[in-house]
Amino acid sequence: MTIDWSRIRPYGDTLDDGAMQLSFSLPVPYGEEAREAAKQLVGKMGLIESQVYHMKDLGEGYTYFILYANCTHSVDFSKIHVPKVEAPIMGFEEINQYIRKHIKRKIIVLGACTGTDAHTVGIDAIMNMKGYHGEYGLERYPEIDAYNLGSQVDNEDLIEKAIAYRADVLLVSQIVTQKEVHVTNLTELVELLEAEGMRDRFILICGGPRIHHELALELGFDAGFGPGTLAPEVASYFSQELARRKGLV
């Protein structure tokens, strides 16, 4: 059972069996033809030995399927490279010391949940005094001036405040992702900043349950953080990045 890293396939109970579970609905009426349609569909996906284990009539001409099958595709795991935030993660004390030592002034951080998004729990988790999962938020860091603008903040307002507060870092939270509205919102912010020639003035960071670093880079941000992020990860990143940009390290 030595694994061939260049040809990784799903695993059920035997190496390379390709076992996969799927569920989906089709806009076709319940019946044997529906079952066959489901099987043909996954056949096109490169799945073999498919079994429709459960079918349910949803009414209105729709049918739901639970299906198992074996995937014939494989991936080359040895070639996978995922961009990650590189900065080593420091603790609360360490970060403050780092800022004192290298930046020699407080870092100014603005946070907001933008657009019509009213989900503040995520940005609060990063910023609020009391923090999250046992980790203080940025407001508690003596070397950080953190301002949480709350929810439903327009991109224009955010930029205005960023100038007013002379922010070093902008933290943008996006939780609602329906119709890719987060992508729209985040892209708009970058475009507005670029239009005003201010993109380089800020370390631009976004976060949310559907955000990851790679996506953030694609959207023109400097970094992105996903589910389960804690304040020190974010602060470690921007303090080191700021020091780097200012040529202080």
Partner 1 sequence: MSGKLNLDHRSVEEARVIAKEIAEEVDHFISARSTVSIERTVLRLFGVDGVHDDIPLPNIVVDGLLDAGVLHRGVAFWLCNAIVQTGKTPQEVAELVAKKELSLVDLPVTSEEAVYRTGERLQDAMLDKIFSHRKLRDHYIKKLSEGRKPYLYLIVATGDIYEDVTQARSAARLGADIIAVIRSTGQSLFDFVPYGATREGYGGTYATQENFRIMRAALDEVGEEVGRYIRLCNYCSGLCMPEIAAMGAMERLDVMLNDALYGILFRDINMQRTLIDQAFSRMINSYAGIIINTGEDNYLTTADAVESAHTVLASQFINEQFALLSGLPETQMGLGHAFEMNPELEDGLLLEIAQAQMAREIFPNAPLKYMPPTKHMTGNIFLGHIQDALFNLVSIVTGQGIQLLGMMTEAMHTPHMHDRQLSIENAQYIFRNARHLQDEILFRPDGRIQRRAHTVLTKAVYLLREVKKKSLFTALEEGIFADVKRSRAGGKGLSGVIKRSVDYWNPFECGLRERLQLSIRGEEG
By CB under 8 A, residue 1 contacts partner 1: yes
Pairing of strands 144-148, 47-59: unpaired
Map the footprint of partner 1 across residues 10-39, applying CB under 8 A. 11-15, 19, 21, 23-25
Taking the complex as a whole, how short is the minimal distance between the CB of residue 152 and partner 1, in angstroms?
A: 7
Alpha helices (H) along the chain: 32-44, 92-98, 121-127, 155-165, 181-195, 213-218, 231-245
* Size of site (CB under 8 A) for its own copies: 41
50 near ligand B12, rule: CB under 6 A = no
Pick one of 8, 28, 30, 68: the residue that binds partner 1 (CB under 8 A). 68
> Binding of its own copies at residue 184 (CB under 8 A)?
no
Judge residue 231's burial from the number of C-beta atoms within 10 Å of its C-beta, 0-12 exposed, 13-18 middle, 19 or more buried. Answer: buried
Query: Does residue 51 interact with its own copies by CB under 8 A?
Result: yes
Contacts 24+ apart (CB under 8 A), 100-105: 100/143, 102/239, 102/243, 102/248, 102/249, 103/143, 103/239, 103/242, 103/243, 103/246, 103/248, 104/248
Active-site residue 130, yes or no?
Answer: yes
d(CA 185, CA 13): 44
Residue with Cβ nearer ligand B12 (66 or 176):
176
Determine which residue in the list 6, 30, 46, 199 makes contact with its own copies, applying CB under 8 A: 46
Residues between 78 and 107 that touch partner 1 (CB under 8 A): none
Q: Which of 106, 130, 179, 246 is catalytic?
A: 130
Site string for ligand B12, 111-150 (x = CB under 6 A): -----xxxxxxxx-xx-----x------------------
Catalytic sites, residue numbers: 130
